[in-house]
Structures are given as C-alpha cells and as structure tokens.
Amino acid sequence: MRTLAPQALGVLVRRGADFATAEDAVQEALIEAARHWPDSPPDDPKAWLLRVAGRKLIDLQRSEAARRRREERVHDEPAQGPTEQADDTLLLLSRCCHPALSPASAIALTLRAVGGLTTAQIATAFLVPEATMAQRISRAKRTITGERFDTPGDARAVLHVLYLMFNEGFTGEVSLAAEAIRLTRQLVAATSRDALDTADPEIAGLLALMLLHHARRDARFTPSGELVPLDQQDRSLWDTSMIAEGVTVLQTALAHDRLGQYQVQAAIAALHDDAPTAEETDWPQILEWYDELAQLTDSPVVALNRAVAVGQVDGPRAGLAVLADVDPGLSRWAAVAAHLYERADDVDRAIQHYRAAADQATSSAERTHLIKQAARLRSGAQT
C-alpha cells in the first residue's frame, strides 16, 4: 500500500484533481483496501486502488460542490480502460517540491504524500509538535492549490529537496536519510523507464552521493552517542555493499559525460570510502574534484571544504590562506580553522576556534566533540 498510494495520488493529480482532495480520496481508498484486501486480495491492486480512489474523489468533489456552491467539479468517473502503467513519481515529487514552498514545507509534504509517513512520524523526525507539523503540511497544500501539473517540473528542484532531506539525517523513529534514499531510488527508476537517453545523470549522482555517505552511518557515533570524525572512524563498520552500489551508480552517471555537482560530491565521497585508512586518503585527487566543484557552483560551503583539502595537500598554512577568503560566518568555518591551526601547531588559536565552533554547533554531539577538542589541546599545553 505504501508503494501504490503515491502512484495512485500521482495519477489523480495528473488527471487534474486538486492535490488535497486527491490525497483525501486516496486515503479513503486505502481504508477500504485495509478492510477488503486481507480476505479478498485483488488481482490488480493498483487498478483496484485507482478505481476506488476515483469514486471517492467524485464523492468528495460532489460534497465540496454542494457545500460551497461554486467551482463545479467533474461528476463522472473517468472512463475505465487498461490500468495506467506510467510511474508518476517525478510528477508527484514536482508538485511537492514546488518553488513556492519553503524547503521545510516541501520536505514535509514530500514525506507525507510520496513517502507515506504519518504526520506524527514527520513531526517526530523534525522534533516539533504534531499540531505544528499538521499546520505546516496544510499550509503547503493550500499554497499549491490550483496549480496544475500535466508534465513533471524541474528535476533540479526535486533533487535539492531530496538532498536537504538526506542531510537532516537520523532523528529518532524515522531516518530521513533512509527516506531520501528510498525516494531517490524511485526517482531513478521512474526516469530510467520514461527517458533512458534524456534522464539527468545528476539524479543517479545524488543517489550515489547518498549511498556513499550513508554507508558510514554505523561508525559516526560511539555507543554513548559521541561524534566520531571521519579520520577516526572504525572503517570495518562501514557498509561495503552500499559503498560498492554507490560506486556503480556513480560510474553509470559519469559515463553520460554531463558532470554536475552531485556527481562530483559523490566522487569525493567515493575517494574517502576507498581509502583503507585515513592516512591513505587520496587528497590530491580530492582537491582536483573540489576544483571541479568550485567551477560548477559558487557555494561558500564548497570553498570551505576545499580549504580543508588544500590544507591536506599543500600544508595547513596554505589551507588557512584559502580559508581567509571564505565567509567566517559559515557554521563550520571556526571548526575548520581550529583543525588547520592545530595542524600548524598554533595551539592557542586552535583552542580559541574550537571554543567558537562549539558555541555555534547545531547538535549536542557536535558541541561536546568540539569542547573536548579544546580541552585536549589546553591540557596538552599545560603539561
């Protein structure tokens, strides 16, 4: 049901139904399916769900017309024919990732409509009350009411929302990183079926990036919840099968010779994952990829990460010189500065920046780690 519901919703939206009303119709159809399928499963579940959702949609439209007495709705059930086999994943994601929505609203609506999560689950993932999340989703639906999508919108907007969702990571009962991977897999499958020669390789690039990062999830924290930096992680805990899949997906994307920022980020992640130890990381090649990435985007975050790579290749003082041209207001700027000053044996400045980074940390695990780094250096300086 979780797989079929977004497909049914996508079909109704493509036919011109209002998003919120179509979603209600699909939910009503799912209730009917839960009642009838255990005893009498249909031969074609998708056709059954579409047929019942179509009838529920008509009922809801008639009820709305009777209540409001305006905006006549379609009163006839769509003509029956062969079950539609097109995957409307991209269409539905386009609707949920409409540019009029804020990133937070787009992610919430995507998780609700495409991901099939409950409002309570989404609220838990974002650490907000359920009522607050319900209001956010309702406002998002109102924002896109009246918008009609006959064809999928900008895939890059969809990728951006999925990328932001992945970066939310794991926040309890629901892993937004895992949900982002699942939805991106659906998007890759949908575009592969519908347009083998024109599919944007950045879609596969984003999937590869997610897989290559998510493969390290079990090594990022100690059993007590403390943050473990990449160079100190137990690499035996990394998911080698996920890394292998990520590399394969990345190679397929790069073969199109249409380079994009997600493919480049995935290539950098692959080089980190390929190193048996932190000391064996191929930093010169990573720096080359950062140079490519800097040409594709003027993101200050890219410039910040490139400063780290320069510090590894040309020495910490060279990294600090590059860092001087990066906006110091960035959230991780102080942490990068602390790392480079420590490698340059400037302990006092390293401690100063570790403390500043701790004050700016967005999570308790990160804050604790940075405070401990400052304490470690201070203890060493005193001895």
pLDDT at 68: 53
One-letter amino acid for residue 181 of the chain: I
Q: Are 281 and 254 in contact (CB under 8 A)?
A: no
Report residue 153 as tokens.
Answer: 């919108």
pLDDT at 305: 96
Domain boundaries, the chain: 4-68, 86-195, 200-282, 298-383
Tell me how far apart the alpha carbons of residues 138 and 135 are, in angstroms, rounded to a whole number.
5
Q: Which residues of 370-381 are buried (b: 16+ CB within 10 A; e: fewer)?
A: bbebbeebbeee
pLDDT at 201: 92
Per run of 10 residues, the mean pLDDT along the chain (length 383 residues) is 81 80 87 89 89 86 60 44 52 80 86 83 82 91 74 73 80 74 85 59 95 95 92 96 97 94 97 97 98 94 96 97 94 95 96 95 89 92 61
pLDDT digits (tens, 9 = 90+) for 248-257: 999 999 999 9
Half-sphere exposure of 134 (CA within 13 A, CB side): 5
Cα separation values, 104 from 90, 165, 211, Å: 19, 9, 23
pLDDT at 195: 44
Give ∠ CA 37-42-45 in degrees, rounded to 5: 95
Q: Are 309 and 287 in contact (CB under 8 A)?
A: yes
Q: Would you put residue 33 in left (φ > 0), alpha (ψ -120 to 50) or beta?
A: alpha
Q: Are 171 and 132 in contact (CB under 8 A)?
A: no
Question: Strand pairing partners for 175?
Answer: 170
Q: Is the pTM of this model over 0.85?
A: no
pLDDT at 40: 86
Residue the block writes with tokens 């805990």: 237
pLDDT digits (tens, 9 = 90+) for 107-139: 888 888 887 788 888 887 777 899 999 999 999
CATH topology of domain 298-383: 1.25.40
pLDDT at 174: 66
One-letter amino acid for residue 28 of the chain: E
